[in-house]
Amino acid sequence: MMDEQTAWVLALQLVALVSIASAIMLYLLCKIKGNHESGSSELFPGGGKPVVITCCDNAMGLQLAIHLANRGFRVFAGLKNGSTSGSPDDSVPGKVIRAWQKYRESIQGQGNIVPLHLDVTREDLLHESVDIIRAHLPAGEDGIWAVVCTNGITYRGSLTQQDIAHWDALLKTNIIGVLRTARTYQSLLKNSSGRIITIGTTDNMGGGLVAYAASRFAVEGASQALREELFSAGIKVITVNPVGILPELLFCQPKLVKKPETEEVCVEINGCLEYQPQVLSDRAMEILDIALTSREPKNKYKLEYKYKWSRQLNLCQNI
């Protein structure tokens, strides 16, 4: 018969084995859950992949263009007043891009930003941009990896005080612009099994944004329909939802940061001109990276805010 001491030892060993097995199971479950939340954990490399950002005239688009270019993407940056020759304009975003380009050339970095004269409300500029993009692609390539629809405008105020012309401009840019963009770049995206990223609804927007909210819900609905329509072509459609970010900040025109004592423009460590606001947090950028490079991305992602509500209100007052 087994003595009492041996029985205790075996019991302790059994408990230890069960604990280890439970820990392994818990780890695997967490891993599966994490992959489900962020899409497939397997990512495509970003270096050199061509990405179109439809509007870099606003804070969100410019911040994303610089971020992706620093990561090694070839970014085609839409600028409404851009030069047809492909050089940046004299707007603040244009100056920021030009400074970034000069710095990148000096260190021979991999990323690149190619300015595009682009306005999603104009069919002629959209079609011209396709030719410009193709001219900048490497020999033998005829596809783009992603299109990020950062075009957007907003008007805040009670419905009775808003001009109907503002609604027309808002819907033409925010929703019809997305449809024009998807149609224009569909062939380039199909050639590379690319993806379209749209901007959906924003929570905690505050009052006075009925028309803006309508346009963003329309974008979400259109994105769902596009996802189903373009599935057979291998094109993915992904919607990102800014969380707690005022629309005025997302789509405002950036301003250069100047030194108070000299009025000289501040320069960041990477050679880029400093500007504000930069509205997306580091975590939001990580989520966008996942949306852009995951082999099996989710249909929707949430982007975290960078500033607290009070800080955002102060920034809006200075725009």
Q: Are 243 and 203 in contact (CB under 8 A)?
A: yes
Dihedral, 10, 15, 17, 18 alpha carbons, nearest 10:
140
Q: Which residues contact 18 (CB under 8 A, 6 or more apart)?
A: none
Alpha carbon 211 to chain centroid distance? 23
Least Cα distance to 60 among 251, 222, 235, 204 occurs for 251
Concatenating the DSSP letter of every residue in 279-306 gives -B-HHHHHHHHHHHHBSS--SEEEE-BS
Strands 255-256 and 275-276: antiparallel
Dig out the tokens for 205 from the structure: 């927007």
Q: What is the DSSP code (8-state) at residue 176? A: I
Q: How far is CA 280 from the centre of its chain?
A: 9
**Residue ranges of the domains in the chain?**
44-317
Spatial CA neighbour of 197 closest among 132, 284, 113: 284
List, in order, residues 6 or more apart from 241 with CB less than 8 Å away: 199, 200, 201, 202, 203, 300, 301, 302, 303
Spans of the chain, pLDDT less than 50: 32-41, 309-310
The 10 Å Cβ neighbour count of residue 55 is 26
CA dist 201 and 204 (Å) reads 10
Give the model's pLDDT for residue 266: 87
- In our burial notation (b when 16+ CB lie closer than 10 A, e otherwise), range 292-315 reads bbbeebbeebebbbbbeeeebeeb
Q: Give the pLDDT of residue 36.
A: 45
Q: Which CATH superfamily is domain 44-317 in?
A: NAD(P)-binding Rossmann-like Domain (3.40.50.720)
The model's pLDDT over 188-207, given as tens digits with 9 standing for 90+, comes to 999 999 999 999 998 777 78
Position 37 scores a pLDDT of 45
Instruction: Report CA dihedral (19, 21, 22, 25) to the nearest 10 degrees.
Output: 160
Reading phi first (left if > 0) and then psi (alpha if -120 to 50, else beta), residue 39 is in left
Structure tokens at 193: 């099994």
Alpha helices in 39-91 (DSSP H): 59-70
pLDDT of residue 38: 46
| pLDDT attached to residue 48 | 81
- So what's the pLDDT on residue 304? 74
Pairing of strands 50-53, 195-199: unpaired
What 126-129 contacts at long range (C-beta under 8 Å, 24+ apart), as own/partner pairs, is 126/180, 126/181, 126/184, 127/184, 128/84, 129/52, 129/76, 129/78, 129/184
